[in-house]
Structure 1
Amino acid sequence: MSAVTASRWERFRDSYLWYSFRRDKVAIVSLVVFVAMVAAAFLAPVLAPTDPYDLAQIDIMNSELPPAGLAGSDPAFPLGTDAQGRDLMSTILYGTRVSLLIGFGAVVLQSLLGILFGLLAGYLGGRVDAILMRIADVQLSFSTLMVAIIVGAIFKASFGNLMFGEIAIYLLILIIGIAEWPQIARTVRASVLAEKKKEYVDAAKVMGFGTPRIMFRHILPNTLSPIFVIATVQIANAIISEAALSFLGLGMPETQPSLGSLIKSGFDYIQSGSWWITLIPGLVLVVLVLVINLLGDWLRDVLNPRLYKG
């Protein structure tokens, strides 16, 4: 380990962030569960007993088999099977990967848009601020789900079968990302309004630095704390939005499982006794969203300067 790396590790080990994390058991458990779920999802091709995309591995005669321990179960399917005969454990692993891809992708998109528009609105002010914030206000007057439903319905009506290919993932990232950028933009704008009045910004202007450099090299790094907090929570919101859209038939198709589409696929079979098709993916979704929100709450408390005691 180089001296520079050792020095960085020592600073991190002595930081209030690490100190707070070690003392917060909820944050530790949440991070362990989240990392385990992410690792399992992205290692799905290795960990999954079968490939839910491979029709040769699916036998309709194995449909609606209950989880292990219940009458009629098959040891080859520990979590049971769905109505198409797919191994539920495999579909959940692949489905969690799709939901996480959409969640992270949507937050990256909305962060790029929100940071750009928030910086421009907060630093330039005037008409630019008024126009961008009025656009954000209009979009915020509608619920995120409503915007996503409208845009998703337009895409599905316009492109039809394209929604049933892999392009559905990118469309959902685009839809959810566009629907939720105003929240990050308003957060960034509020931070920029406070930062641009400080002396280091005046010093940068005196030194002749251009507006882009001042915004992105000097002001932006000092606004990252609230961005990290809201982005963490937005990942959970994006995953919930994807699940809701898929449940309504405007998201991922059943042939490409996500947690939302898995819940939808089993909803019609609850009354017939095949409750596990919906319940188990639903529990996975609840746990995933819960640990992300708990990590977001911990970050909010740690990165809030008023709570800093180090």
Structure 2
Amino acid sequence: MSTPTTTTSTPGRWERFRDSYVWYSFKRDRTAQLCLAIFLCMVVAAFASPLIAPTDPYDLRQIDILDSELPPFWIDGADDRYMLGTDAQGRDLWSIVLYGTRVSLLIGFGAVILQALIGVTFGLMAGYLGGKTDAILMRLADIQLSFSTLMVAIVVGAVVKATLGSAFYSQYAVIMLILIIGLAEWPQYARTVRASVLAERSKEYVDAARVMGLRSKRIMFRHVLPNTLSPIFVISTVQIANAIISEAALSFLGLGMPETHPSLGSLIKAGFDYIQSGSWWITLIPGAVLVVLVLSINLLGDWLRDVMNPRLYKG
């Protein structure tokens, strides 16, 4: 007589995530829910701007200088065609804010990806290999930290413009800003990852991998790196906000995006001269969008930092 066998199904990824503390904390935190909803709405609206924007700000045929400095819909003298009014060139402000937010997000995400690629690789090597490798890479990080993003932008911009011309810099401004911000901020990742790797490399699973004869490269990227992802996720949220702020600051100083392909920073700069004339919306509306975007990312980063801190785990 055979006895019935019981089979237990392995929970899937969604079931494990639904039972995790991250999901439990997110369901109870209204601020995190609101910030994530705002951030996702802004990302979707920005990248869907060619579909939802009333006009194309890059198409000169859709721009009429006679429609310049029209106020938003809640102010007398507004035009029904332009919900948020127009800028000094007659462009629909709602449309250029959508396109500008997309540019700022592209630069923010692109710069953080570059920072992570450089910083995580250097941090892994410094923390795991130690010795001279650690000393050399950390001294490079110290040297890099002594140069601000603004200083790097001035030097790189001056060299590129003198060598290849201002037209080249303006045409590839997005790529240039990603390179500038990415290369200026990678030590943040390197230092964070190095500290995590120093705590992980002395654990038993790393010793077991060495005994099995695995190469150092595989141990670093296949075994140590997955156990350092929590601080990487946390710092990434902060760095995205920092990259967007850096791009806005550089554009405001004339070292970023040109007015023909605006970002939030260049929109604020373009409208700054018109505040005294009464056309405050040209700069304040993009400024408000920038503040809401950065604030939502920072609050999400604060929540994620608290959730992934084991000392704060309440069970």
Q: 1:4 to 1:212 in 2, by over 3 A?
A: farther
Partner of 1:163: 169
Partner of 1:29: 34
Q: How many angstroms apart in 1 are the aligned matches of 2:254 and 2:161?
A: 10
**Pair 1:49-2:54 in alignment:** yes
**Pair 1:131-2:128 in alignment:** no
> Pick from 270, 279, 283: which aligns with 1:278?
283
- TM-score with structure 1 length normalisation? 0.96
Q: Matches of residues 1-310 of structure 1 in structure 2 within 5 Å?
A: 7-159=12-164, 160-165=166-171, 167-310=172-315
Deviating beyond 6 angstroms after TM superposition, the runs of 4 or more aligned structure 1 residues are 3-6
Q: Which amino acid is 2:91 matched to?
A: R
SS of corresponding position for 2:256: coil
Q: How many angstroms apart in 1 are the aligned matches of 2:238 and 2:85?
A: 32
Deviations 1:100-130 (A, max 9, x none): 0000000000000000000111111111111
Query: Taking every aligned residue pair, what percent have the same amino acid on both sides?
Result: 75
Report the Cα offset of residue 4 of structure 1: 8.7
Q: 1:253 to 1:4 in 2, by over 3 A?
A: farther
Q: How many angstroms apart in 2 are the aligned matches of 1:157 and 1:43?
A: 36
SS of corresponding position for 2:36: helix
Q: Which amino acid is 1:265 matched to?
A: A
- TM-score with structure 2 length normalisation? 0.95
CA contact (8 A) 2:126 2:133 kept: yes
User: Which structure 2 residue ranges, 5 or more long, are not aligned?
Assistant: 1-7
What is the number of equivalent residue pairs in this alignment? 307
SS of corresponding position for 1:81: coil
Q: 1:150 to 1:4 in 2, by over 3 A?
A: farther
Q: How many angstroms apart in 2 are the aligned matches of 1:28 and 1:153?
A: 43
Report the Cα offset of residue 222 of structure 1: 0.3
CA contact (8 A) 1:153 1:250 kept: no
User: Which structure 1 residue ranges, 5 or more long, are not aligned?
Assistant: none
Q: How many angstroms apart in 2 are the aligned matches of 1:231 and 1:148?
A: 21
CA contact (8 A) 2:149 2:180 kept: no
SS of corresponding position for 1:28: helix
CA contact (8 A) 2:270 2:283 kept: yes
Q: 1:308 to 1:163 in 2, by over 3 A?
A: same
Report the Cα offset of residue 9 of structure 1: 1.5
Q: How many angstroms apart in 2 are the aligned matches of 1:80 and 1:4?
A: 58
Report the Cα offset of residue 203 of structure 1: 0.3
